[in-house]
Amino acid sequence: MPYLFTSESVSEGHPDKVADQISDTLLDNFLAFDPESKVACETLVTTGQVVLAGEVKSDTYLDVQTIARDVINDIGYTKGAYKFSGDSCGVISLIHEQSQDINQGVDRGSKEEQGAGDQGMMFGYATKETENYMPLALDISHKILIELAKLRREGTEITYLRPDSKSQVTIEYSDDNVPQRIVSIVVSTQHDDFDGDDQKMLAKIKKDIIEILIPRVKSQLPEYVQNLFNDDIEYHINPTGKFVIGGPHGDTGLTGRKIIVDTYGGKGAHGGGAFSGKDPSKVDRSAAYAARHIAKNLVAAGVADEILVQVSYAIGVVKPTSLLIETYGSKHVDFTNGEIAQKVFEIFDMRPAAIEERLGLRNPIYRETSAYGHFGKEPRKETKVFESPYNGKITREVELFTWEKLDKVDEVKEAFGL
């Protein structure tokens, strides 16, 4: 019997994502001026206030208040009417030095023997159902909000949009796990106050989302996904009605509260650890990126159509405590899941320092991950400029989303005789 699966996304203006972006931008600045920085930075945003907290061990010093304000303005919170603005909000910093008890388990005599920054399990997932090896419902949900943000910044076709928004997509699958059709799409977007009839306002917003936004999203998708759109899609556009009060004024935001949006939209599994604000010695982040890198390269090589990778660590211990591969009955090789996991250990060095080196994780590459998901984006090189009143100005050439590279496919094929 056919079944339904749903994923959601939130925009860069969602309060939790505002917090994530501030935390990751602070991390980038620390790493830009001191690549060996140890950072665990948390952010809280609410009406007119930003609170920065966490632990940092670094040779550099930053103007964290200015960095936070710049992020808020970049997102689009620039008007007093939003009750939250980069130029007027208060910024309180409670950041202090990292615990020496934690540091002694991570830093070792040689970089290669660096221990894991925490215990826990991390997951990576990949599926053939999209070109970027991501779950389809999440991929479409992200694209809806990325395009909505473009429309907001263009300010021509839709002129009333504010930064906070959410989306949700439900897809019907056949018994053999093939997407059949899009059943429903939910879009809730913050908007300017309309003078007049609320019903006319809601009708205008619904018309614009369905007739302007959705066609722009659909045009970016491959033909087989476009065919899933149909005249029977149930649209829920701002289903609660008026959505003028939003962002940090409407709801307090915290770093690390959108871990499913950040990963696979409910597909696969999640170990519970958030990413943003954490330097790569924290395996919550680095090992999750490495697990995605493994899963994507295995699926691209043809080992299976769908793969989940679990890896686990003990704090201060160099080697993982376990590695599991789940292929959901979709494998194309004559190996058990356990044998596949053993091969993975031989191909991918999962020690924390090796992951950092392989994926270039000590570079300032994290702001770009902090909205619209950490996975499924195209790897690319970029020039980034960082300025500090204490450290001057530096330019860094960085490679973003290295864990999305299909650079191990040939090695995987050789190992599995594909």
| 289 and 237 both lie in a single domain | no
**Stretch 144-149: mean pLDDT:** 98
The response to whether 257 counts as a known ligand-binding position is yes
Specify the pLDDT at position 107: 57
Number of H helices, E strands in the chain: 13, 13
Residue 252 domain flag: no
| 60 and 163 both lie in a single domain | no
Residue 29 domain flag: yes
The CATH code of the domain that includes 402 is 3.30.300.10
The response to whether 143 counts as a known ligand-binding position is no
Count of Cβ atoms closer than 10 Å to residue 97 Cβ:
11
**Residue 106 pLDDT class (50, 70, 90 cuts):** low
Specify the pLDDT at position 83: 86
**Amino acid identity, position 102:** I
The response to whether 243 counts as a known ligand-binding position is yes
**Stretch 330-339: mean pLDDT:** 96
| 173 and 313 both lie in a single domain | no
The residue whose two tokens read 């949009």 is 161
Asked if the model's pLDDT at residue 301 lies above 70, the reply is yes
| 242 and 268 both lie in a single domain | no
Asked if the model's pLDDT at residue 112 lies above 70, the reply is no
**Stretch 213-224: mean pLDDT:** 96
279, 27 in Cβ contact below 8 A? yes
**Stretch 93-110: mean pLDDT:** 64
Greater confidence (275 vs 82) lies with 275
Asked if the model's pLDDT at residue 109 lies above 70, the reply is no
| 243 and 309 both lie in a single domain | no
**Residue 247 pLDDT class (50, 70, 90 cuts):** confident
Nearest Cα residue to 366 out of 31, 11, 18: 31
Specify the pLDDT at position 241: 83
**Stretch 355-382: mean pLDDT:** 97
The response to whether 98 counts as a known ligand-binding position is yes
The response to whether 42 counts as a known ligand-binding position is yes
| 269 and 288 both lie in a single domain | yes
DSSP β-ladder status, 38-46 and 253-254: antiparallel
**Residue 201 pLDDT class (50, 70, 90 cuts):** confident
Nearest Cα residue to 189 out of 211, 217, 169, 209: 209
| 242 and 263 both lie in a single domain | no
Nearest Cα residue to 269 out of 124, 69, 78, 367: 124
Residue 243 domain flag: yes
The response to whether 14 counts as a known ligand-binding position is yes
Mean pLDDT of the chain: 93
Specify the pLDDT at position 143: 98
Express as a percent the part of the chain with pLDDT over 90.
Answer: 84
Residue 114 domain flag: no
Alpha helices in 303-395 (DSSP H): 337-347, 352-359
The response to whether 55 counts as a known ligand-binding position is yes
Residue 105 domain flag: no
**Residue 67 pLDDT class (50, 70, 90 cuts):** very high
| 411 and 295 both lie in a single domain | yes
The response to whether 166 counts as a known ligand-binding position is yes
Q: pTM to 2 decimals?
A: 0.95
297, 285 in Cβ contact below 8 A? no
Residue 115 domain flag: no
**Residue 100 pLDDT class (50, 70, 90 cuts):** low
Q: Which of 40-54, 78-92, 345-359, 398-412 has the lowest mean pLDDT?
A: 78-92
| 327 and 238 both lie in a single domain | no
Specify the pLDDT at position 44: 98
The response to whether 16 counts as a known ligand-binding position is yes
Strand partners, 349: none
| 263 and 393 both lie in a single domain | yes
| 299 and 388 both lie in a single domain | yes
**Stretch 238-259: mean pLDDT:** 90
**Amino acid identity, position 127:** T
What are the residues whose beta carbons fall under 8 Å from the beta carbon of 110, sequence distance 6 or more? none
The response to whether 164 counts as a known ligand-binding position is yes
> What's the token pair of residue 260?
């499913």
Output 387-396 pairs: Cβ under 8 A, ≥24 positions apart: 388/29, 388/33, 388/60, 388/61, 388/62, 388/63, 389/63, 390/60, 390/61, 390/62, 390/63, 391/33, 391/60, 391/61, 394/32, 394/33, 396/32, 396/363, 396/364
Asked if the model's pLDDT at residue 312 lies above 60, the reply is yes
Specify the pLDDT at position 104: 52
Asked if the model's pLDDT at residue 9 lies above 80, the reply is yes
Specify the pLDDT at position 359: 98
Residue 253 domain flag: no
* Residue ranges making up the domain that contains 299: 120-128+259-273+280-416
Specify the pLDDT at position 85: 87
Specify the pLDDT at position 110: 62
| 403 and 269 both lie in a single domain | yes
Q: Total domain count for the chain? A: 3
